[in-house]
Chain A
Amino acid sequence: QQQVKQSPQSLIVQKGGIPIINCAYENTAFDYFPWYQQFPGKGPALLIAIRPDVSEKKEGRFTISFNKSAKQFSLHIMDSQPGDSATYFCAASSPGAGSYQLTFGKGTKLSVIP
């Protein structure tokens, strides 16, 4: 049972466009939602994270929107650049039993074309 569903699987945008990646979760115990960026052959790098008591968080060109009632959250990348071309993963965790294991979505491969 996939607990975090991510869409789309792939996305192509023009430079300067605003790609939007969506995630939906099922487990209401989740209380921490990070986004990771991964380049080929590299490890995931933390981009931005949010908690359910906030509806939006912005860091630089990256914005998370969070809808607690719908159990959905999304990543927006403003003024996207070719260097943003990577795979993006949403994730979620809950502090159940003292373990903060992350449950990941399947990823979105973003291509930003010049």
Chain B
Amino acid sequence: NAGVMQNPRHLVRRRGQEARLRCSPMKGHSHVYWYRQLPEEGLKFMVYLQKENIIDESGMPKERFSAEFPKEGPSILRIQQVVRGDSAAYFCASSPPVRQVLQETQYFGPGTRLLVL
């Protein structure tokens, strides 16, 4: 009964390096969402993907951030040239395919805590 898996759980990067965060959705789920959580704050939507498609990236910063969900393998959130302000917890959520009951129900992974030195 594997839930949403994320790795790494903790990631330390120096300013200017790249961060790659991975997310494997729950079995049978084809929709992936990425959210960012700053300390003492709620989660903020970043991007919504289906296999090989970005559906909604309205919450994604225009520069340095990108996301993909390939046909095979996990979804990847990539942050290039990280800055201290990127330090946060990044959560991935998955949901069932469209036309299933409550397709908007999202199940969250444990998160990746990124620290930029």
Main secondary structure of the interface of A (DSSP, over half): mixed
Of all chain B residues, which has the CB nearest A95?
A: B104
Would you call A102 an interface residue if the criterion is a C-beta within 8 Å of the partner chain's C-beta atoms?
yes
Would you call B111 an interface residue if the criterion is a C-beta within 8 Å of the partner chain's C-beta atoms?
yes
Interface residue from A42, A100, A103 paired with B110 (Cβ < 8 Å): A42
Would you call B65 an interface residue if the criterion is a C-beta within 8 Å of the partner chain's C-beta atoms?
no
Interface residue from A6, A43, A44, A99 paired with B48 (Cβ < 8 Å): A99
Q: Please report the total number of B residues contacting A with Cβ < 8 Å.
A: 30
Chain B residue numbers with a CB within 8 Å of A103 are 45
Cα A98 to Cα B104 in complex, Å, equals 10
* Cβ contact within 8 Å between A102 and B91: no
Of all chain B residues, which has the CB nearest A89?
A: B42
Chain A residue numbers with a CB within 8 Å of B95 are 100
Would you call A54 an interface residue if the criterion is a C-beta within 8 Å of the partner chain's C-beta atoms?
no
Chain A residue numbers with a CB within 8 Å of B40 are 107
* Cβ contact within 8 Å between A105 and B104: no
* Cβ contact within 8 Å between B91 and A43: yes
* Cβ contact within 8 Å between A100 and B42: no
Would you call A66 an interface residue if the criterion is a C-beta within 8 Å of the partner chain's C-beta atoms?
no
* Cβ contact within 8 Å between B48 and A105: no
Encode B86-117 as 1/0 by CB contact (under 8 A) with A.
Answer: 00000101010010001111111111000000
Chain A residue numbers with a CB within 8 Å of B52 are none
Chain A residue numbers with a CB within 8 Å of B104 are 32, 93, 95, 100
Cα A38 to Cα B58 in complex, Å, equals 25
Cα A49 to Cα B101 in complex, Å, equals 13
Would you call A12 an interface residue if the criterion is a C-beta within 8 Å of the partner chain's C-beta atoms?
no
Chain B residues proximal to chain A, CB less than 8 Å: 4, 6, 31, 33, 35, 40-45, 48, 55-56, 58-59, 91, 93, 95, 98, 102-111
Chain A residues proximal to chain B, CB less than 8 Å: 6, 32, 34, 36, 42-46, 49, 89, 93, 95, 97-107
